């Protein structure tokens, strides 16, 4: 519990996620054309920014060797995982697995499937299916 004299940082939400890429144009095409995310803007020297439900995704080439690694797994929420999976497969996306049930919750089932972007980063689709 904080007192009136304590200061809080005030973090309210995640603002931006950086996704490492070796070919920003190729990756930007994937995130815009395959995933359907809105391109916000591009900036030199090879940055691309997308909106993902109010969280900004930044595609960037790694500046140093220690930053040249796959990104954290991002889980994109979709309303219909079967339809999203089929549409992405039609666009040539290679999936690691088929959509599958992860957990039965009190009021919904949690489904997931995993795929790789154009840069080899592992990503996931998730869907909370009401019963």
Give, for all 131 residues of the chain, the pLDDT tens digit.
555 556 787 778 889 999 999 999 999 999 999 999 999 999 988 999 999 999 999 999 988 898 888 889 999 999 999 999 999 999 999 999 999 999 999 999 999 999 999 999 999 999 999 98
Residue 20, pLDDT score: 94
Q: What is the dihedral of CA 82, 83, 89, 91, to 10 degrees?
A: -160
Residue 27 lies in a domain: yes
Q: How many domains, the chain?
A: 1
Q: Is the pTM of this model over 0.85?
A: no
Q: Is residue 1 part of a domain?
A: no
- The CATH number that applies at residue 104 is 3.10.180.10
pLDDT recorded at residue 10: 79
Half-sphere exposure at residue 28, Cβ-oriented, CA atoms within 13 angstroms? 17
Answer yes or no: is 122 within a domain. Answer: yes
Asked if residue 31 belongs to a domain, the reply is yes
Answer yes or no: is 86 within a domain: yes
Domain that holds residue 72: 16-130
Query: Is residue 75 in some structural domain?
Result: yes
With residues binned 3-state (H G I as helix, E B as strand, rest as coil), the percentages for the chain, rounded to 5, are 20, 40, 45
Residue 9 belongs to some domain of the structure:
no
Position 46 in a domain: yes
31 φ, ψ (degrees, to nearest 5): -70, -30
């Amino acid at each position: 519990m904080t007192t009136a004299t304590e200061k809080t940082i005030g973090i309210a939400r995640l603002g931006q996620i950086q996704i490492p890429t070796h070919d920003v144009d190729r990756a930007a095409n994937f995130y815009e054309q395959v995933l359907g995310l809105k391109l916000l803007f591009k900036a030199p020297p090879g940055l691309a920014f997308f909106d993902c439900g109010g969280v900004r995704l930044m595609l960037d080439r790694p500046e140093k060797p220690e930053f040249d690694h796959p990104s954290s797994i991002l889980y994109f929420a979709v309303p219909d995982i079967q339809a999203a999976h089929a549409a992405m497969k039609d666009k040539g996306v290679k999936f690691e697995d088929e959509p599958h049930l992860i957990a039965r919750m009190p009021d919904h089932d949690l489904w997931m499937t995993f795929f790789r972007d154009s840069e080899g980063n592992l990503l996931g689709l998730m869907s909370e299916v009401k019963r």
